[in-house]
Amino acid sequence: MGVTGSGKSNFLQHLVGKEGEKGPVVGHSLSSCRFTIGGFGRVSYDASGTQKTEMYECRLGNKQVVFFDTPGFDDTYRGDADVLADVAQVLSSSYKNNLKLNGIIYLHRIKDERMTNAIMRNLTMFRSLCGDAAFQNVVLATTFWDELQDQSKGEDREQQLLARGEWWGYMTAKGSKNMRFHNTRESALDIISKVIDLDIVTLQVQEEMVNRGLEVEHTTAGETLNSELVEQRKAFEKALQTLHQEKEQAKRDHDVHLQEIIETLELEKMTLLQEIESEQAALHADRREERRRMEQEFYDEKLRLERMVQETLAESVRIKEETETEAREDRRRLKAEFDGKLNEFSEHQSQEMQKAIREFEQRLAAEKEEGHRRVREALEHSDIVIRDLKSSMNRSRREDRKKYEDEIKKIKERQREVTEQSERWTDDMEQINRKILAIQVKKRHAKQKDQKGIESKIDKLKEQKKSKTQNFWSRIGALAGVGSLLLAALA
């Protein structure tokens, strides 16, 4: 969210990639959306900015991420009431269909020297839509740092934003994070990383419209906008009354030129008054049919996303089954080879080879179990540390919270790496053990002069196995070792 021109669409474009570049795939878009999806990793934008809330998605790492890009409450072509209705209905319809938010990003131009009426109106509506309870899931991001001639001026403005309660101070005191967007994909991803793993949050407008059944006009945001419109209407009506009195006086004074000036001013004020009346009418308009249509679209969207998840899971299962099938085929081929060799051996030699095969299977099973046990214990321990860090973070000073968030992020990344490495290590152990056993079979038939070379191959494989296992154990140990020292250091 943010004012028109604050860089919302540009921020988004960095995330989905640009034409010709490898990047996340842009998915389906709702029929009410203004943007057109233009192919792999590319979105086409109209120059006038976002006029309707756009929903679409991209893949970031192993997550399918859905974004809402909203119009500002200072749009040239749409009134604030229409913008509010659009944003509120998208948020409530998605919430009703169980598409819930993890975070909200509010963008602000750091090059703006003043907090204009348009900026303050956007900020007021943003706070009314979110509500206090959602501020801990908010990132307040400044943009256009790359266009500043003097970085120190930007830093001063940033400090002013954070210092004043009516600007960003109140929200940061409630847990909102302050960040800078440096007009790069890396910077956009860094900002996204702060909200993507947060617990889902219910915005105030979602609670009011879905859980309490209020219409847009009766929500906190709707009442805030209506109060502003009422004040503006009173001001214009008073101004028109004053102009009417001045025009009557000009008539009595036979001042034709002054009458013409006043009539021009009256026309301007009446036009503005009509716009306010239109805004109020739009705020109170019956939008039930539009809401039903949007809810149906979100229901269809939810089904599509669920199908996508099911297809992805099915593909993962298929790949896993293929891998397991290949492993079984390898074992069958190896067994057939062994059986062929066993026929050539004496009874004593056959018994020795069968014993070697049993030992191979037992050793492989024991190694797998040991690896899985260590991974399990490390993950359980690190989960406890994450819970302790979150608990300590909630009790810490606001300025210290980033340290806790960074450490939690690092631990989760280690957990992911260890889980992935566990699968690779298991496959490696099975392949290496199989190779060792196959070479041992060949050794039985090898000539004396070839024995040394075969032993050397076996030793190299054992060394490779030892190296991979030690590396894996150290990764697990690093994950299992986080804990009391880290908490003490942060405290």
| pLDDT value at residue 33 | 34
Is the residue at 203 inside a domain? yes
**Residue 71 corresponds to which tokens in the numbers above?**
């119009």
Of 214, 245, 269, the domain-final residue: 214
Is the residue at 256 inside a domain? yes
Task: Find all residues with CB under 8 Å of 490, minimum gap 6, and list them.
Answer: 389, 392, 400, 403, 404, 407
Looking at the structure, do residues 38 and 184 belong to the same domain, yes or no?
yes
Looking at the structure, do residues 179 and 57 belong to the same domain, yes or no?
yes
Looking at the structure, do residues 172 and 245 belong to the same domain, yes or no?
no
Segments in the chain below pLDDT 50: 18-49, 484-485
| pLDDT value at residue 144 | 92
Looking at the structure, do residues 278 and 395 belong to the same domain, yes or no?
no
In eight-state DSSP terms, residue 28 is -
Looking at the structure, do residues 108 and 170 belong to the same domain, yes or no?
yes
**Residue 242 corresponds to which tokens in the numbers above?**
């004053």
Is the residue at 295 inside a domain? no
In eight-state DSSP terms, residue 132 is G
Is the residue at 367 inside a domain? yes
Is the residue at 184 inside a domain? yes
Structurally, how many domains does the chain consist of?
Answer: 3
Is the residue at 323 inside a domain? no
| Cβ(482)–Cβ(385) below 8 Å | yes
Looking at the structure, do residues 266 and 123 belong to the same domain, yes or no?
no
Is the residue at 94 inside a domain? yes
| pLDDT value at residue 9 | 85
Range of the domain at 73: 8-214
Is the residue at 294 inside a domain? no
| pLDDT value at residue 21 | 43
Looking at the structure, do residues 210 and 225 belong to the same domain, yes or no?
no
Strand 177-180, strand 138-143: pairing: parallel
Looking at the whole model, is its pTM more than 0.75?
no
| pLDDT value at residue 143 | 93
**Torsion region of 132: left, alpha or beta (phi above 0 gives left; psi -120 to 50 gives alpha):** alpha
Of 283, 306, 326, the domain-final residue: 283
Of 163, 184, 214, the domain-final residue: 214
Residue matched to tokens 């501020």? 135
Strand 54-60, strand 63-69: pairing: antiparallel
Looking at the structure, do residues 260 and 373 belong to the same domain, yes or no?
no
